[in-house]
Amino acid sequence: MQDSTLKRFGVSMEGNLLEKFDLLVKQKGYENRSEAVRDLVRDALIQQLWEGDEQIVAGSILLFYNHHQRNLLEEMTNIQHSVHNLIIATTHFHLNHESCLEIIVVKGKVKDIQQLSNKLTSLKGVAYGKFTVAPVDQI
């Protein structure tokens, strides 16, 4: 049985992080911090449910990286070729002289795609990576 009553708890964070969070709350149109925290928790819990699962999902892997990083492009290509069956498409953008953005559209078992995302985002030279996913049977 689910308990749908609201519970209060405290959250501590650095002042500059709270200022950025408050700006996010305002930009997204939340009425208060609590609504924003609830959405963040829901999203984290949904992502957690799919990790290690056999469920078929579709999603994207977003990578920001320095293309001057030695061997990075070769490593990225080798990783992607080793799991070509998971990759539907890739799109590459040149943001400036050093930085690139790559979007990889994927479909397959969530555990396999999560593993691919982890391999790519942990490469030296990748400044930021984000894996987004949705279950195919609920789309």
Report yes or no: 47 and 132 within 8 Å, Cβ to Cβ: no
Is residue 94 part of an annotated ligand binding site? yes
Angle at 132 between CA 130 and CA 135, to 5 degrees: 160
Q: Any known ligand binding at 84? A: no
Q: Which backbone phi and psi does 88 adopt, to 5 degrees?
A: -90, -45
Question: How far is the C-alpha of 136 from the C-alpha of 108, rounded, in Å?
Answer: 9
Beta carbons of 133 and 127 less than 8 angstroms apart: no
Establish whether 67 is an annotated binding residue: no
Question: Distances from the Cα of 98 to the Cαs of 9, 62, 81, 92, 95, in angstroms?
Answer: 44, 17, 24, 13, 8
- 91, exposed or middle or buried, with CB in 10 Å at 0-12, 13-18, 19+? exposed
Where is the binding site for Ni(2+), in residues?
81, 92, 94, 100
Where is the binding site, in residues?
81, 92, 94, 100
